[in-house]
Amino acid sequence: MTMTRRTFGKGRMAAVALMGALSLGAAVQAMAAEEPRRPECIAPAAPGGGFDLTCKLAQSALVQENILSSPMRVTYMPGGVGAVAYNTVVAQRPSDANAIVAWSSGSLLNLSQGKFGRFDESAVRWLAAVGTSYGAVAVRADSPYKNLDDLVQALRKDPSKVVIGAGGSVGGQDWMQTALLAKAAGIDPQKMRYVAMEGGGELATSLLGGHIQVASTDIADSVPHVESGDMRILAVFSEERLPGDVTGEIPTAIEQGYDVEWPVIRGFYVGPEVSDEAYNWWKDAFDKLLASEDFAQLRESRELYPFSMTGDELNDYVTKRVGEYRELAGQFGLIQ
């Protein structure tokens, strides 16, 4: 009897242990499926620019698609055109599963030049790319520059007399696309007169206020000001004209004789120590968004065009793109 009871006890204990393990596994799975309790999108610039637009796109879409049940807040963390936010997330909030951070091709360009300090492109978990815009050159509606050639001729005559504002310093994305234009026109980019600013919002304010004559920007930032009649876009750096009533009227640099193309990919990353479960929740959320026709319409309404990539595929893309930008920066003498 003793032996029988002992054998029965072991079996019962094993069964209880197994049930406990299964319950724990179910609990972990349930936790993995939970949405973030305090969802946040960090825009690494002041309000009004491309990072703000990217966060607000996610803010609207995730609730509209019933992926988030509570509103996502957008917080602003300007500084270094993304450097402050990148360093803060990596060093101070590495495991924060509530926060996603907006990035663009400009972020990758800055990373390629070491502008984010001691952290490189491998320091975060790249989550999703949700669309693309394109670089553009904009002026006030009353500007004497009516087309791209007017601007180029003025730069050829005396580049120091044309004040060009750019979101970021020399070597940044806005500087780079104008430097490529200068190179295509036979002008030394180093002789051009630049005023560095923190994001698209400040850039638009300075242009409309008359503090600069030309804005090196992107199409998504600029179209609302074109629609209001305050701004004119001389050229968009896309391969061909973009769709839309307003954007379809904007000529490309290529059709005006300057072979310059600059896509601006926009997306999100998370901290390096965010758990696989939390990362996969966000990835699944964006996979669902990117497959949605409603999201496609929402993206188009913000002058963004299709570019969809998540997870490992995006990580490979970022690694490759940073390498290409590093080579480009070297050609302009930006890396010693």
97 phi/psi in degrees, rounded to 5: -80, -5
CB 105 within 8 A of CB 65: no
Last residue in a domain, options 211, 242, 262:
262
Token readout for 125 is 């978990």
Using DSSP's 3-state secondary structure scheme, residue 151 falls into helix
Same structural domain, 80 and 152: no
Average pLDDT for 233-240: 97
Same structural domain, 110 and 179: no
Q: Is residue 10 predicted with pLDDT exceeding 50?
A: no
Same structural domain, 196 and 283: no
* Domain assignment of residue 2, yes or no: no
Q: Is residue 313 predicted with pLDDT exceeding 50?
A: yes
Same structural domain, 119 and 200: no
* Domain assignment of residue 30, yes or no: no
* Domain assignment of residue 50, yes or no: yes
Q: What pLDDT is recorded for position 93? A: 98
CATH of the domain at 183: 3.40.190.10
| Mean pLDDT of all residues belonging to the chain | 89
Element (H or E) spanning 195, and its range? strand 193-197
More confident residue, 16 or 315: 315
Model confidence band, residue 49 (pLDDT cutoffs 50, 70, 90): confident
* Domain assignment of residue 13, yes or no: no
Q: What pLDDT is recorded for position 22? A: 40
Same structural domain, 302 and 204: no
Model confidence band, residue 14 (pLDDT cutoffs 50, 70, 90): very low
* Domain assignment of residue 184, yes or no: yes
Percentage of the residues of the chain whose pLDDT score is greater than 90: 77
How far is Cα 258 from Cα 212, in angstroms, rounded to an integer?
A: 23
CATH of the domain at 54: 3.40.190.150
Q: Which residues of 229-248 are buried (b: 16+ CB within 10 A; e: fewer)?
A: ebbbbbbbbbeeebeeeebe
Same structural domain, 245 and 276: no
Token readout for 220 is 């998504």
Q: In Å, how far from its chain's centre is CA 250?
A: 23
Same structural domain, 121 and 155: no
Same structural domain, 234 and 146: yes
Residue ranges of alpha helices (H) inside 50-104 are 50-64, 83-92
Q: Any residues with CB less than 8 A from the CB of 110 and at least 6 apart, and which? A: 80, 81, 82, 83, 116, 168, 171, 172, 173
Model confidence band, residue 43 (pLDDT cutoffs 50, 70, 90): very high
Q: What pLDDT is recorded for position 80? A: 84
Q: What pLDDT is recorded for position 202? A: 86
CB 244 within 8 A of CB 155: no
Q: Is residue 303 predicted with pLDDT exceeding 60?
A: yes
Last residue in a domain, options 210, 237, 262:
262
Q: Residue 143, exposed/middle/buried by CB under 10 A (0-12, 13-18, 19+)? A: middle
Structural domains of the chain, count = 2
Same structural domain, 140 and 236: yes
How far is Cα 108 from Cα 325, in angstroms, rounded to an integer?
A: 8
Q: What pLDDT is recorded for position 220? A: 86
Residue 45 vs residues 100, 101, 147, 308, 324: alpha-carbon distances, Å: 14, 11, 30, 23, 25
* Domain assignment of residue 276, yes or no: yes
Same structural domain, 147 and 126: no
Q: Is residue 19 predicted with pLDDT exceeding 60?
A: no
More confident residue, 161 or 13: 161
Q: Is residue 316 predicted with pLDDT exceeding 90?
A: yes
Same structural domain, 175 and 277: no
Taking only the tens place, the pLDDT of each residue in 120-174 is 999 999 999 999 999 999 999 999 999 999 999 999 999 989 999 987 788 989 9
Q: Partners of 276 in the beta sheet?
A: none
* Domain assignment of residue 26, yes or no: no
Last residue in a domain, options 212, 235, 262:
262
Q: What pLDDT is recorded for position 336? A: 58
Q: Which of 169-173, 294-298, 300-304 has the highest mean pLDDT?
A: 294-298
Taking each helix axis from N to C end, the angle separating 276-290 and 2-33, rounded to the nearest 10 degrees, works out to: 50
Q: What pLDDT is recorded for position 104? A: 95
Angle (CA) 200 205 207, round 5°? 95
Q: Is residue 4 predicted with pLDDT exceeding 80?
A: no
Taking only the tens place, the pLDDT of each residue in 245-276 is 999 999 999 999 999 999 999 999 999 999 99
* Domain assignment of residue 187, yes or no: yes
Same structural domain, 166 and 187: yes
Domain of 138?
A: 134-262
Average pLDDT for 167-183: 89
